[in-house]
Structure 1
Amino acid sequence: MSGYVDLFVYGTLKQGFANHRTFCKKALKIRAATIAGQLYDLPVGYPAVQIPDNSILLKAGQDPARDAGRQHRFRGLTQPAPEGAQGLVHGEWIRLPDPPRTLPHVDALEGVRPDGRGEYRRALVPAWTEDGPAALWVYWMPRLPPGARHLADGTWPARP
């Protein structure tokens, strides 16, 4: 079992936003990061990401603590940065300690359910950081609600 778990966050878990203090106050590392995907602003006031199927390295299992350990099999990832034609999502790499305690709380916030029928899913994807490529867990939405607005620049909140 691993002593930490690495997440890619792009919305309310980022520094300075509503859920950061509650869920990420014990972060061991926070760095800028980017993933391949499409970012949407939802009418309910938070964002969603859709990711290409071919970028999923692992799907979340039923045990978040085990998932943190599975993530570390992808250390040394050498994935090239995506081509310009692909969408990019900009956010933060957040390393959280104690995955058996921290990851289930974040999963609950994001509506991830073991049966896979929650609002979001969690998947391990390649990310690009100032420290090089990394494999990070991201919360993504398989079906967008009506009124979702695409953010072409890949940054939430939308810039005026």
Structure 2
Amino acid sequence: MPHADATLRHVFVYGTLRRGGRNDIARYRPAPVFVGMAVVSGTLLDLETYPGVVLGGCGRVHGEVYRITPSVEAELDVLEEVAPDGSGEYLRKQVQVHVAGADLACLVYELHPSRAAGREVIASGDWLAKR
């Protein structure tokens, strides 16, 4: 019999889903489990009331990693406007994230490239520090 946690995944959150943010991930049920503070390679962009990340490059984006259930993942897809054909505001990617001294495969919601042009870069890579 497979272990009950086999369907759980990890998600890296960097904006309003972080603790204390207006979309705090703790509001979802079943409650996501905090794994640790984390960093991913990328550039953080200011979309005025929330951020977006462009993955890759030499920048560092700060956030938090949580273990989530498939039902929470589905709710996050709705919040982030992920479209099956890739045309939504965000694209759900799986990347290696550095958390608690190790690399962990995590879902990351990356801003659709068509929405990144002309956006201000958040040099600190930390949405909460900007707020």
Q: Number of residue pairs matched?
A: 125
Q: Give, in angstroms, the shift of residue 18 of structure 1.
A: 1.1
Whether 1:139 and 2:109 are equivalent positions in the alignment is: yes
What's 1:38 paired with? 43
- The yes-or-no answer on 1:16 pairing with 2:14 is no
Q: Highest relative contact order (Cα 8 Å, sep 6+), 1 or 2?
A: 1
Q: Gapped runs of 5+ residues in structure 1?
A: 53-84
Tell me the amino acid that sits aligned with residue 130 of structure 1: A
Note the C-alpha offset of 1:158: 4.7
Please name the residue that 1:107 is paired with. 77
Please report how far the alpha carbon of residue 36 of structure 1 lies from its aligned counterpart in structure 2 after TM superposition: 0.3
Q: CA-to-partner distance for each residue in 1:93-124, whole Å, 9 max, x for gaps?
A: 1111x31x111110000000111110000101
C-alpha separation between the residues in 2 aligned to 1:94 and 1:48? 18
**Cα distance in 2 for residues equivalent to 1:158 and 1:24:** 27
Is 2:90 the counterpart of 1:120?
A: yes
Q: Which residue of 2 aligns with 1:90?
A: 62
Partner SS state of residue 117, structure 1: coil
* Matched residue, 2:34: 29
Identical pairs, percent? 35
TM-score, structure 2 as length reference? 0.84
Instruction: Please say if residues 44 and 121 of structure 2, whose CA atoms lie closer than 8 Å, have aligned partners that are also in contact.
Output: yes
Q: Is the 8 A contact 2:12 2:106 kept in 1?
A: yes
CA distance in 1, matches of 2:116, 2:51: 11
In structure 2, relative to structure 1, the CA distance for the partners of 1:51 and 1:103 (3 Å cut) is same
